[in-house]
């Protein structure tokens, strides 16, 4: 399926600043960027670079003396996904886990899994099957955390959300990650464009490593799983913020869009999975 993704960010610049942007569609074996353009107003010089582990495509730009900066990104992306039958999702013990996956077991800034151990095992420890366990985590978050715009901020972490029970997509994802890690299931942060997300915005989900596959879970259930285009993967939002700003810049406006370019998009949601895992990394 092909998607046209688009984002436009208007910044007011109070002092010369450096912005590290993270809005490019990622290139992966199952996600091809067919065409893309990045436009800056004014025409500032910028540099693209990838994170060491290849899970982000950053753009670094320097505002210089500009008082306003408009960043416009547009891409045509072809993306596959895969539905995986439950019986193939054999859990991988830590002793056999691929070493690249191990760091996703460690706690991170917004996912203090080390503080959620007892709770996680108490709540989900009796579910024997790993996939069922993660699905239960995601469903529990959906059922018990309220999606409340503005109830949290950039400092809110899973340790807050498990108790305060409110947040936005980023908080839902962080809590899912923290609970998985506490259960010794590697988990990572996903950020991307999302078709049919209302109101349109960047979206965040989490991925859990089960049966040697990264499966995607959206505890908010706000967007169809097959309408997502990956921007970045990271330990948590600290690795994958839309923009990290060094200086004095404020966001004035933001527009985000994600549309299939072909007819016949059929939304695939949690309830359509019928016991199958969903992965954005098609085999």
Q: Which residues contact its own copies by CB under 8 A?
A: 18, 20, 49-53, 58, 60, 62, 93-95, 99-100, 102-103, 105-109, 111-112, 114-116, 118-119, 122, 144, 146, 154-155, 159, 162-166, 184, 238-239, 244, 246
CB of 46 to its own copies, least distance (A): 10
The token pair that represents 85 in the structure block: 């039958």
Instruction: Extract the tokens encoding 278.
Output: 């969903």
Q: Given the complex with its own copies, which of 19 and 197 has the nearer CB atom?
A: 19
Antiparallel, parallel or unpaired: β 166-167 and 146-147: parallel
In the bound state with its own copies, the residue whose beta carbon lies nearer, of 7 and 17, is 17
Q: Which is nearer to its own copies, 41 or 106 (CB)?
A: 106
Q: CB-wise, 107 or 227, nearer to its own copies?
A: 107
User: CB-hemisphere CA count at 13 Å for 63?
Assistant: 25
Closest to its own copies by CB, 119 vs 254, is 119
Shortest reach from residue 164's CB to its own copies, in Å: 6
The distance of closest approach from Cβ of residue 215 to its own copies in the complex, given in angstroms and rounded to an integer, is 20
Beta carbons of 59 and 47 less than 8 angstroms apart = yes
Nearer to its own copies, 102 or 267 (CB): 102
Cα(194)–Cα(240) distance, integer angstroms: 16
Q: Shortest Cβ distance from residue 194 to its own copies (Å)?
A: 24
Least Cβ distance, residue 184 to its own copies (angstroms) = 5
84 - beta bridge partners?
Answer: 277
User: Dihedral of the CA atoms 164, 169, 171, 174 (nearest 10)?
Assistant: 140
- Beta carbon of residue 18, minimum distance to its own copies (angstroms, whole number): 4
């Amino acid at each position: 399926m092909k998607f046209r993704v688009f984002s436009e960010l208007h910044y007011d610049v109070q002092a010369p600043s450096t912005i590290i942007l993270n809005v490019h569609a990622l290139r992966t074996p199952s996600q091809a960027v067919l065409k893309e353009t990045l436009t800056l107003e004014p025409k500032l010089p910028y540099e693209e670079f990838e994170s060491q582990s290849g899970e982000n495509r950053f753009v670094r730009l320097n505002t210089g003396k500009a008082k306003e900066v408009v960043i416009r990104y547009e891409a045509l992306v072809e993306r596959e996904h895969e539905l995986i039958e439950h019986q193939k999702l054999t859990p991988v013990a830590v002793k056999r886990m691929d070493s690249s996956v191990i760091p996703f077991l460690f706690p991170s800034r917004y996912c203090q899994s080390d503080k959620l151990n007892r709770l996680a095992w108490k709540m989900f420890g009796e579910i024997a099957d790993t996939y069922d366990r993660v699905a239960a985590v995601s469903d529990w978050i959906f059922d018990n955390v309220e999606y409340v715009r503005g109830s949290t901020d950039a400092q809110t972490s899973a340790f807050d959300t498990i108790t305060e029970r409110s947040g936005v997509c980023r908080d839902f994802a962080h809590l899912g990650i923290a609970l998985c890690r506490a259960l010794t299931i590697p988990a990572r942060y996903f950020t991307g464009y999302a078709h049919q997300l209302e109101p349109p915005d960047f979206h965040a989900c989490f991925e859990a490593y089960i049966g040697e596959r990264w499966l995607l879970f959206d505890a908010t259930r706000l967007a169809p799983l097959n309408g997502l285009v990956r921007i970045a993967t990271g330990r948590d939002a600290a690795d994958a913020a839309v923009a990290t700003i060094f200086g004095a810049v404020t966001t004035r406006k933001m527009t985000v869009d994600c549309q299939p370019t072909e007819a016949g998009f059929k939304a695939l949601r949690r309830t359509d999975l019928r016991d199958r895992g969903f992965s954005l990394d098609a085999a």
